[in-house]
């Protein structure tokens, strides 16, 4: 995007060294006229996650799963850091290509694609896609015969929040040989195997099992005379909340060990499709208490308070309907204020629009703010506008270090960066030229994620 054409939503607010993202959150909440719910996105957190990924899993090139959170600042940041992208639809492909990302950095990771989306991918030079069924092979032969195909197999974690295997992935023993044979006989090129163990996985062994099964499928393909197998895609599922790093360390260990055992040759490229890992902890939601209702017994004693905030299950909290629990806290530190039994409700007229039940909160004034952390994954992406409730806007912040790291990497330009509200106007002067040491990333341009494919 040319300098001067940056939309307000695409701006990144640069903090001075003495300010933190929390200061910016308060500054936005306290700014004149601010009533709508909004997200604070900490860009440093995404940069840190990429540095951690590259340190722990140097062989595995991440392709960010766009569906998880397609906010422009997330896509810009990951594109600037050299990530690849997992797109599941024409719309997601369009969005990523609009950033100037090369189609070679994208995998169309949706085993059941509408014909128009396949045609679009073919027309834009995107030639890597997953499949798990025969019909898809016939569709692809008709619409995009040069597409390189990745066979998605099913291998479910025993402990994951959301199982995807119920919908996608063929059986590696019963179905994979037949599908490989059909692809070969249709003259299609199968280049690899993918899996997704389930979103929010807590079981590192799930990756070891799946990698072992993928090895089996590679061997079956070799037995069928298929020489083109060069890609292993270990999917998503990695948790991404603030305290999840120990789980990630164990997963990385398990993955590295399994790759060394089953795919020791560098001839096989390894990619992944993390979604929530990159974004969960980077986003904090602030929602405004616009109404409340006191619940009293027959004697007039206060039994509880119902608070109504301006984001709910038809917005960022959709996953409440899937038994995910969200825990908020008031922005204002309650100190020693007495706590009262409370419930927190969303803004629509629907009775299921309830976010928290039977929680202890201090008495909150109308206009005060509730804050929800680790809200980056499958929240804003699932927001609707039922009852005319707007989708919360994203207010992005970065440290000066991150600003220096990103400001000259496409798709960012200088025009994307502006002083933060908390820090005032002066600190983004050219005098700030310290190299970005703390985040552990070099300024060297990363290798293109699509290079080796
Ligand atoms: N890849 C595919 C094919 C998916 O369906 C998903 C999530 O639905 C992801 C990657 C991202 O998964 P996660 O956010 O759990 O990392």
Q: What is the DSSP string of 107-169?
A: EE--SS--HHHHHHHHHTT--EEEE-SHHHHHHHHHH-TT-EEEEEB----SSEEE--TTTS-
Q: How far apart, in Å, are the Cα atoms of 404 and each of 75, 87, 167?
A: 18, 29, 43
The pair of structure tokens assigned to 280 is 């969960």
Contact 259, 335 (CB under 8 A): no
Please compute the mean of the pLDDT values over residues 130-145 and round it to a whole number. 98
What would the pLDDT profile of 382-402 be if each residue is shown by its tens digit? Answer: 999 999 999 999 999 999 999
Position 425 scores a pLDDT of 61
C-alpha–C-alpha distance, residues 407 and 307, integer Å? 41
Residue 337 CA: distances (Å) to CA of 293, 332, 371: 19, 11, 18
| 151 within 8 A of 192, measured Cβ to Cβ | yes
User: Is residue 86 lining ligand 1, measured as CB closer than 6 Å?
Assistant: yes
Q: 190-215 pLDDT, tens per residue?
A: 999 999 999 999 999 999 999 999 99
Q: What is the pLDDT of residue 424?
A: 74
Out of 2-6, 105-109, 321-325, 353-357, pick the least confident: 2-6
Q: What is the pLDDT of residue 5?
A: 77
275 CA: nearest ligand 1 atom: 14
- Specify the pTM: 0.93
Q: What is the pLDDT of residue 426?
A: 55
What mean pLDDT, rounded, does the chain reach?
Answer: 93
CA of 148 to the centre of ligand 1 (A): 20
Q: Is there an atom of ligand 1 within 6 Å of 65 CB?
A: yes
According to DSSP, residue 443 is labeled S
- Average pLDDT score over residue span 430-436: 41
Query: In this model, does residue 168 exceed pLDDT 80?
Result: yes
Q: Provide the terminal-to-terminal Cα distance of the chain, rounded to the nearest Å.
A: 27
Residue ID of nearest Cα to ligand 1 atom 8: 199
Give the side-chain half-sphere CA count within 13 A for 132.
Answer: 22
Pick the catalytic residue: 29, 68, 349, 383? 349
Judge if the beta carbon of residue 68 lies within 6 A of ligand 1.
yes
Write the CB contacts of 239 (distance below 8 Å, at least 6 apart in sequence): 200, 201, 202, 247, 248, 276, 277, 280
User: Which of 46, 68, 240 gets mutated to test ligand 1 (max ligand atoms within 8 A of its CB)?
Assistant: 68
Q: Which three-class secondary structure state does DSSP give residue 229?
A: coil
Best residue for ligand 1 mutational test, from 49, 163, 273, 274 (most atoms within 8 Å of Cβ): 273
Phi, then psi, of 361 in degrees rounded to 5: -135, 155
383 is catalytic: no
The pLDDT, as a whole number, for residue 398 is 98
């Amino acid at each position: 995007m040319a300098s001067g054409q940056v939309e307000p939503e695409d701006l990144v607010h640069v903090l001075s060294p003495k300010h933190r993202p929390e200061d910016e959150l308060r500054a936005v909440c306290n700014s004149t006229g601010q009533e709508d719910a909004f997200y604070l996105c900490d860009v440093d957190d995404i940069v840190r996650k990429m540095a951690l990924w590259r340190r722990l899993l140097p062989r595995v090139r991440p392709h960010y799963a766009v569906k998880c959170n397609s906010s422009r600042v997330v896509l810009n940041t990951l594109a600037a850091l050299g990530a690849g992208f997992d797109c599941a639809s024409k719309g997601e492909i369009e969005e990523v290509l609009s950033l100037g990302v090369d189609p070679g950095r994208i995998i169309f990771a949706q085993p059941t694609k509408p014909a128009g989306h396949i045609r679009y991918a073919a027309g834009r030079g995107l030639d890597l896609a997953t499949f798990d069924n025969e019909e898809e092979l016939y569709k692809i032969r008709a619409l995009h015969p040069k597409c390189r195909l990745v066979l998605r197999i099913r291998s479910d974690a025993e402990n994951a929040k959301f199982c995807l295997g119920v919908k996608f992935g063929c059986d590696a023993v019963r179905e994979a040989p037949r599908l490989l044979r059909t692809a070969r006989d249709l003259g299609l090129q199968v280049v690899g195997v993918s899996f997704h163990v389930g979103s929010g996985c807590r079981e590192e062994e799930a990756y070891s099992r799946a990698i072992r099964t993928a090895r089996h499928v590679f061997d079956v393909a070799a037995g069928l005379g298929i020489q083109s197998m060069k890609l292993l895609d270990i999917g998503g599922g990695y948790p991404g909340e603030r305290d999840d790093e120990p789980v990630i360390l164990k997963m990385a260990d398990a993955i590295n060990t399994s790759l060394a055992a089953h795919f020791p040759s560098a001839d096989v490229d390894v990619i992944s499709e993390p979604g929530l890992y990159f974004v969960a902890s980077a986003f904090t939601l602030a929602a405004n208490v616009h109404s409340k209702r006191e619940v009293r017994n027959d004697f007039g004693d206060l039994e509880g308070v119902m608070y109504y905030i301006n984001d709910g299950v038809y917005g960022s909290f959709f996953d409440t309907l899937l038994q995910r629990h969200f825990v908020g806290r008031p922005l204002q530190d309650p100190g020693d204020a007495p706590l009262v039994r409370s419930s927190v409700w969303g803004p629509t007229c629907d009775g299921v629009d309830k976010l928290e039940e039977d929680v202890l909160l201090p008495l909150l004034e109308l206009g005060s703010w509730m804050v929800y952390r680790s809200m980056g994954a499958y929240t804003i992406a699932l927001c609707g506008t039922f009852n005319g409730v707007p989708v919360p806007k994203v207010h992005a912040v970065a440290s000066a270090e991150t600003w220096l790291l990103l400001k000259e990497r496409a798709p960012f330009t200088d025009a994307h960066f502006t002083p933060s509200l908390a820090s005032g106007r002066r600190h983004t002067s050219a005098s700030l030229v310290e190299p970005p040491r703390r985040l552990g990333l070099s300024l060297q341009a990363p290798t293109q994620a699509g290079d080796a494919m």
